[in-house]
């Protein structure tokens, strides 16, 4: 069931991502903004669906572990792997605006969950903060004249079909497949945690978070091989923002998220990975292969630590 859920999440997210990018580029949105918003939300959709499902079933540990683990995996595993393939150029806008937004939401999330619960009103605050960020990003991009080129629009049209209905169909099909995959994922993850005698938060931090991060990994590897640094870095930073603002903003609206198995060290690791991006990205405004290796080693060490707790 777990493997089937992972497969469905992957293919569902793939369809969702393709449709979302095509619609956005045809609307004239620039690749960087697509990466920061549309692509980030699309690749975060597995985490969103899984976390909502977990919250509704009272499995708060999986929902929280999923978000914490996914953000750590995005930074350590995915950025590290992509930088090893090709050094990633970083736009100054990412450092000036997106990184502070990501750090601000991370601090706010840690403050809200310090009592082991994210209530509905706290989720609402996170979600409103995300909406403000999206609106500001789109408006500022329009004012600065950033837009998709005609070549990019035509390229997407050739690859995915010449009619917008195809893109909408991909979006709908992807969402349906995601929902089915999430159902299998949550059910199997809870069963595995019960049979192994470990907490749901550990399962969320490892199996579930890595599984739901597969769309980001696949998208980022493709972008890295094509040397599309803007799209790739924007996708990862945007996904981290959406994971907190959308997932922990929307899921509590369905049912408050709580779990007593959270440890302060997990929050500390999340904050350290987020803070590490500032000096790494400011050094020549790129993520070098050595810095990518450092991120991968740090992520591997964290996974080894979690394994020792099982």
Three-point CA angle 141, 144, 148, nearest 5°: 55
CA-closest candidate to residue 87, choices 231, 227, 219, 283: 227
What pTM, to 2 d.p., does this model score? 0.79
What would the pLDDT profile of 137-159 be if each residue is shown by its tens digit?
Answer: 777 766 765 544 444 444 444 45
Alpha carbon distance 106, 95 (integer Å): 16
Helices (H), 144-196: 150-160, 164-196
CA 237 from chain centre, in angstroms, equals 8
Q: Note whether 153 and 27 are within 8 A (CB).
A: no
Alpha carbon distance 264, 266 (integer Å): 5
CB count, 10 Å around CB of 271? 14
Instruction: Quote the pLDDT of residue 30.
Output: 63
Q: Which residue has the tokens 């390229």?
A: 155
The predicted model gives 192-204 an average pLDDT of 79
Three-point CA angle 95, 98, 103, nearest 5°: 95
User: Phi/psi of residue 152, each to 5°?
Assistant: -65, -40
Q: Side-chain half-sphere of 213: how many Cα atoms within 13 Å? A: 29
**pLDDT tops 90 at residue 81:** no
Alpha carbon distance 118, 262 (integer Å): 13
What would the pLDDT profile of 5-63 be if each residue is shown by its tens digit?
Answer: 778 877 776 777 677 667 666 666 665 666 666 666 766 777 777 788 787 877 778 88
The predicted model gives 64-91 an average pLDDT of 87
Instruction: Quote the pLDDT of residue 127.
Output: 92
Instruction: Quote the pLDDT of residue 193.
Output: 75
CA 27 from chain centre, in angstroms, equals 23
Alpha carbon distance 15, 36 (integer Å): 18
């Amino acid at each position: 069931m777990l493997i089937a859920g992972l497969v469905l999440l992957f293919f569902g997210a793939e369809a969702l991502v393709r449709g979302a990018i095509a619609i956005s580029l045809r609307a004239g949105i620039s690749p960087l903004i697509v990466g920061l918003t549309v692509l980030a939300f699309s690749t975060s959709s597995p985490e969103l669906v899984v976390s909502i499902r977990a919250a509704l079933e009272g499995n708060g540990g999986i929902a929280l572990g999923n978000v914490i683990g996914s953000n750590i995996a995005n930074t350590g595993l995915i950025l590290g792997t992509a930088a090893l393939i090709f050094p990633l150029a970083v736009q100054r806008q990412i450092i000036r605006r997106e990184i502070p937004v990501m750090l601000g939401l991370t601090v706010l999330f840690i403050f809200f969950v310090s009592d082991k619960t994210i209530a509905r009103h706290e989720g609402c605050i996170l979600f409103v903060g995300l909406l403000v960020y999206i609106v500001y990003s789109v408006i500022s991009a329009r004012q600065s004249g950033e837009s998709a080129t005609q070549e990019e629009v035509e390229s997407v049209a050739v690859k995915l079909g010449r009619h917008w209905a195809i893109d909408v169909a991909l979006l709908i099909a992807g969402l349906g497949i995601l929902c089915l995959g999430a159902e299998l994922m949550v059910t199997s993850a809870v069963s595995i945690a019960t049979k192994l005698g470990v907490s749901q938060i550990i399962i969320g931090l490892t199996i579930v978070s890595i599984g739901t991060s597969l769309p980001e990994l696949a998208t980022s590897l493709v972008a890295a091989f094509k040397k599309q640094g803007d799209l790739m870095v924007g996708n990862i930073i945007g996904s981290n923002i959406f994971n907190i603002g959308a997932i922990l903003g929307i899921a509590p609206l369905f049912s408050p998220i709580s779990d007593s198995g959270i440890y302060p060290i997990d929050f500390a690791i999340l904050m350290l990975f987020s803070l590490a991006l500032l000096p790494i990205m400011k050094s020549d405004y790129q993520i070098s292969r050595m810095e990518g290796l450092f991120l991968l080693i740090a992520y591997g060490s964290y996974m080894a630590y979690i394994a020792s707790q099982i």
